[in-house]
């Protein structure tokens, strides 16, 4: 299992366009992928509604997890999206 903790840098947090890009990237993988706000309950990173429901704002920390072959690369890509300004 791969896991990264990332601070969200975007002014809009993980909403709108950053959330869509995040979910689209997660959905391309055949792996199980979750994202959680801080130490909260993880949600399916492939669901735009689930990701938006986290209400992630600039400066919040998220934990991204994936399991399976290629999990490290996928988590790195998602962490890059979440930490992009």
Distances (CA, A) of 50 to 19, 40, 42, 47: 10, 13, 9, 5
Q: What pTM was computed for the model?
A: 0.95
pLDDT of 9-56, one tens digit each? 999 999 989 999 999 999 999 999 999 999 999 999 999 999 999 999
Mean pLDDT within 54-74: 97
CA distance 82 to 9: 7
> Known catalytic residues?
15
Backbone angles phi, psi at 25, to 5 degrees: -65, -45
CATH of 2-83, one of 3.90.1150.10, 3.40.1260.10, 3.30.1340.10, 3.60.70.12: 3.30.1340.10
Asked if the model's pLDDT at residue 84 lies above 90, the reply is yes
Q: Look at residue 16 in the predicted model and tell me its pLDDT.
A: 87
Q: Look at residue 61 in the predicted model and tell me its pLDDT.
A: 98
CA distance 67 to 60: 23
N-terminal to C-terminal alpha carbon distance within the chain: 27
Asked if the model's pLDDT at residue 78 lies above 90, the reply is yes
């Amino acid at each position: 299992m791969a896991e990264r903790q990332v601070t969200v840098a975007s002014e809009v947090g993980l909403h709108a366009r950053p959330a869509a890009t995040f979910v689209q990237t997660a959905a391309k993988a055949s792996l199980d992928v979750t994202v959680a706000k801080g130490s909260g309950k993880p949600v399916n990173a492939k669901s735009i509604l689930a990701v938006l429901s986290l209400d992630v704002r600039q400066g919040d920390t998220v934990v991204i997890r994936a399991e399976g072959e290629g999990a490290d690369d996928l988590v790195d890509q998602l962490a890059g999206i979440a930490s992009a300004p």
